[in-house]
Structure formats: C-alpha cells, structure tokens
Amino acid sequence: MMLIAFHLIQNHAPSNLNRDDNGDPKDTIIGGVRRSRISSQAEKRSMRWHQPFREAFSADVLATRTQLLPEWVRQALQQHHEVDAEAEQQIVRFVESLGKKETKSAGADGSEGEEKPKGKKGKGTDTQKNEAHKTAQLMFLSTGEVERLSSWLVEKYYELGATGFAGLTSNDLIAEIKKKGGLFEPHSVDIAMFGRMTTSSPFKDIEAAVQVAHAFSTHKVETEYDFFTAVDDRSGESGAGMLGEVAFNSATYYKYINIHWEGLLKNLHNDYELATKAVLALLQAAMTAIPSGKQNSFAAHNLADFILVEVLDRTIPVSYANAFVQPIQLNRAHHYIPQPQEPKSLLTLSIQALLYYANQIQTKYELQGQRACFTLPALETTPIQAFETVSSLGNWLRTMLPQREV
C-alpha cells in the first residue's frame, strides 16, 4: 500500500482568489482567529484545467463536467451514426431524463412531483426550439463513455422502434446495461483522481483517489477593501463615472493533497504508465495552478514557495494543518519554531513550523516513508533532501513509484 502526500506553503499577494456569496475572500476560524481560505473545489478545478496538466494527456483520457450531455450525445450521433431526425430527437430527449432523482414529493396538482418543462409566461411549456437540452445534474464524463452511450441508444432505438423507445425509462436503461456487463466506466485521469457520483444514470460512481484539503492561511488575516472609480472616457466630464469597492487580502497558505496509489491504479484499470504520469502532472499542477478569481484585478500569480513530498508505505493520511493552530506571528514565539532567528518572514516561519511539526509526527508516530522537498527561500537546515528544481523533485518522485505490479 502506498500513499503520496504533498504539503505546500504558498504566499499570495493581494487577491480575491475564491469568493463567498458576498463577494468577499472565503475565510474560516482556526485556533480562535480568522484565516483566509481557498476551497478544495477551487483548488481542484484550477489544477484540472491548468494548461500544463491538460497538455500532459491526450483528450480521450480527460473528462468534462457538464449538464449538456444531451447535446454531447447529439453531436456524437451526427458525427458517428446515420440516424434520421426523429431518431436523433427521441434519443436526445431520452438522455435529458438521465441523472434525475427517482423519488420526488407530490406536486400541488396531485402529480408525483415530476419536473415541468420551463416555458415563458403566455407561450406554453414546450421546450423552445433553439434551447439546449440539459440533464438535471452536472455529470463528470469522458468522451469514450458518451460514445458508448450514444451507440447503445442507437442500437436500442432501432431494436424497439420509435414507439417502443418512447416507452423506455432511465431505470430500464440502467437495468439492461448492468445485465450486459455493468455500468459505463471511464478511463479518465481526472475522474480517476477526483471521483464522481451520479444518480439514476448509466455511469458508474468512482471513488476519488485524490483528496484535496481547503487551503488556509498560516496566520491571522483581516479582509481589506479597495475603493475604486472609473472615468467615462467620452463624456468630457471630470469625476467618476462609477464607484465601487472590492474585497481582498494577502496571505501565506498551507495546502495539503494526498494520493492513494492503489486507488488511482484501480480507477485507471492498472495502467501504471498513465498513473505515474497522472501523479507527476498533479505535482506540477499543485505547485503552479492558481484559482482564477479576480485575477484580472489583482494578478496574484504567485507560485508555491515550498513543497514537502512524502511517499509512505502505509495509507495513513496525515495533514500537518495543526502546525498552524497557533497562528504564525512575526517576532512572537511559536510552539513549532523552537529557536526563531531574526529577521524572519511569515513565509519562512511557516516553512520552519511545518518542517518541525512534520518531523515530530513522523518520529513519534513512527511513520516510515521517503521524503523530499523543494524550496525557494534559503533554509538554514533542512532535515530532508532538498531539490533545486521542480523537475529534479519530479524525477525523484518518479523513482519512488512502482512501474509494474509486484
């Protein structure tokens, strides 16, 4: 059994990378003080759509999250199947029913709470001619799965005929697919990593092999507000054409990611080469991908300053977040910084606290494994092997991963 863990310290200049419903930077209370926070969802999306991550793989092993599955199927029908207009429309409308909840409370009119097509007032309830067909829930799907579904539905349509196909339900579809070999299963890197869950659909649920924690600041943070104006370039008038304000902060974050190697292999059907490439691509993305929130206003494109990589022979996930329960403060003593020396920054103090706490956990819990790091700030002493470049750290990690079944 093998667990791979990434522990990062990353400082961001003034920014609003991940907003709450008020438009303010997300935050949380840890150790009795307010910290800045970046949600795991924002982290995962930024890594999944990071250009180097996507360029590392061919399109057929990457997935898309969408409600537009019916239109995706329509495209597959037009490209790969010769079906008439009526067959295409029936198949697309059937796909629209996938992913809906099976049990719904009774409607006010005595119906079983089925969803009514949305229509504009006074214009009936028929779907508008040019309106895209959607499923009720977002689905995380690979191209191969959509092509399999399309082929299966075309075959079923011509087997049952138009009238028989019109009576087909999503439950009928799922039952028959299960009987004929099981639900559609992806061969996709990002689904294998981050998992998926769908309801009432022919697509198999996938348990995530990668866990991503919410990033949080290692120190206390207060939200600030930028008051701004915009001038009308054509009016010739002095003064502001509009006024506004935007919330922001600046923080040093702790980020934690773990990868269950055997789970990743299982999700990728024991493709060792692809699993290895996935781990290395995730390492690169973890260090360089940044959420896109308000970047046109702040351009806080700050890469990771430090990463500790662990390859453990037991699947005991351990976050080092508790190194920062006591917030890092300049010129103040800290539980996990035994001998602070001046001058120090929040960044270097955070790295020092992380390394000290990690060493305490590893020693006292006797957690065996291989460890290495990459650091931008110069550290006086590093208890583990430190690499000078990201590529050399990646090469080290590659040697730690098994390349065949043993």
Res 100: pLDDT: 63
Buried b (16+ CB within 10 A) or exposed e, 137-175: bebbbbbbbbbbbbebbbebbeeeeeeebeebebeebbe
pLDDT (tens digit, 9 = 90+) per residue, 4-62?
999 999 999 999 999 999 999 999 999 999 999 999 999 999 999 999 999 999 999 99
DSSP H or E segment with residue 276: helix 272-288
pLDDT (tens digit, 9 = 90+) per residue, 255-313?
999 999 999 999 999 999 999 999 999 999 999 999 999 999 999 999 999 999 999 98
pLDDT above 90: residue 348: yes
Res 105: pLDDT: 33
Res 343: pLDDT: 61
Distance CA 49, CA 42 (A): 11
Res 231: pLDDT: 86
- Please state, for a pLDDT cut of 70, what percent of the chain lies above it: 90
Mean pLDDT value across residues 354-362: 94
